[in-house]
Amino acid sequence: MTSIEPGTAVRRQARSARGWITAGWGVLGVLVVLLLWEAYKFLGPAEGVTIGAVDGESGSGVMILPRTHDRAMPHIWDMVGRLFEPTSGGSTPPLFVSVISAALVTLGIAAVGWLIGVLVGGLLGLLMQRWKLVEWGLLPWIVLSQIIPLIAFAPVVNAIGNQIDRSGTPWPQWLSVAVIASYLAFFPVAIGVLKGLEAPDRIHLDLMRSYAAGYWPTLRSLRLPASVPYLLPALRLAAANAVLGAVVAEVSIGMRGGIGRMLIQLAGQASSDPAAPWGPTFGSIVLGLIAAGSVAIIGLTLSRYRRGEATA
């Protein structure tokens, strides 16, 4: 029978109390942002603030604060209200329904992309830790890969995907989006796994060597548990990147049904329907939060390995 020391219960209460306090501050922060928005709308100049403008030359100068009229900056309650109005007039479902379904599509694709990225990144990390030569050869390219803009890859991957599809093996369009999302997701995982597997102390490695433990037992009993504090922030970052990659790829390829395309579409109609683009915008924000939150849940199950986590 296990007995819980009085200290543990007190500590757990203290931790959950801290959680509520953090959440409280967060809500306060969001409220402050909303207040600033409305305050600027109320107090700011109608045409915004431009520096360096030349009289008579329209479009000159740099606008550093936006125009405050309702077409450029809708009221917050207008944005919220718009969510409940039909998506594109008439009997189409309310905007928030369309946003949610588009967000779910993108989330699903991002999840697949994340999985692929985690597998590939994890494998690369393992290989790089195992053989120094592989690390030296591959790591610079892996780092460089993130400087290559996504926009370049999307059409290529889409074209290759179409080819594969035409030659017999089915390859739906969303899979191309997932592959592009995985391209952004694999990088933090590869780095995190590499750092994490190399994290154990010299003393612990010597200990395993004294037990004549080979590569695989050492990996299982020492390196993998020691890598958890590095792995979890990496997985979180990979999730956020996968969402980003999915959204950009959707726009790039022109995939229907996802939230990326909805963003562009509604932004195009912004002059007649200014509050509408905010719907998918909020949707993308929530999407990112859900993705990161899901990884945090995974983290909870691994809590006993997280003695000192490095923040991404």
Q: Looking at residues 54 to 73 of the shown chain, list those that interact with other proteins (rule: CB under 8 A).
A: 59, 62-64, 66-67, 72-73
CA distance 309 to 302: 12
Which residue's CB is nearer to other proteins, number 229 or number 274? 274
Which residue's CB is nearer to other proteins, number 153 or number 174? 153
Which residue's CB is nearer to other proteins, number 97 or number 139? 139
Name which position in 28, 46, 51, 203 contacts other proteins (CB under 8 A). 28
Secondary structure in 3-state letters for 7-53: HHHHHHHHHHHHHHHHHHHHHHHHHHHHHHHHHHHHHCCCCCEEECC
The phi, psi pair for 86, rounded to 5°, reads: -60, 150
How many residues make contact with other proteins (CB under 8 A)? 75
Strand partners, 51: 62
Shortest separation between residue 2's beta carbon and other proteins, angstroms: 19
Shortest separation between residue 110's beta carbon and other proteins, angstroms: 10
163 forms part of the interface with other proteins (CB under 8 A): yes
Secondary structure in 3-state letters for 171-197: CCHHHHHHHHHHHHHHHHHHHHHHHHH
- Per-residue CA distances from 26 to 21, 23, 29 (Å): 9, 5, 5
Name which position in 34, 156, 298, 302 contacts other proteins (CB under 8 A). 156
Angle between helix axes 224-253 and 150-166 (nearest 10 degrees) is 80
Which residue's CB is nearer to other proteins, number 301 or number 311? 311
Shortest separation between residue 39's beta carbon and other proteins, angstroms: 16
Residues 129-148, one symbol each (x = binds other proteins by CB under 8 A, - = not), give: ---xx--xxxxxx--x-xxx
CA distance 253 to 106: 13
Shortest separation between residue 119's beta carbon and other proteins, angstroms: 21
Shortest separation between residue 91's beta carbon and other proteins, angstroms: 26
Angle between helix axes 224-253 and 173-197 (nearest 10 degrees) is 150
For residue 246, give both structure tokens.
């999915």
Q: Looking at residues 171 to 230 of the shown chain, list those that interact with other proteins (rule: CB under 8 A).
A: none
> Is the Cα torsion angle 67, 71, 72, 75 positive or negative in sign?
positive
For residue 211, give the 3-state DSSP assignment: coil
Which residue's CB is nearer to other proteins, number 52 or number 90? 52
Which residue's CB is nearer to other proteins, number 32 or number 298? 32
Q: Looking at residues 236 to 275 of the shown chain, list those that interact with other proteins (rule: CB under 8 A).
A: 236, 239-240, 243-244, 247-248, 251-252, 260, 263-264, 266-267, 270-271, 274
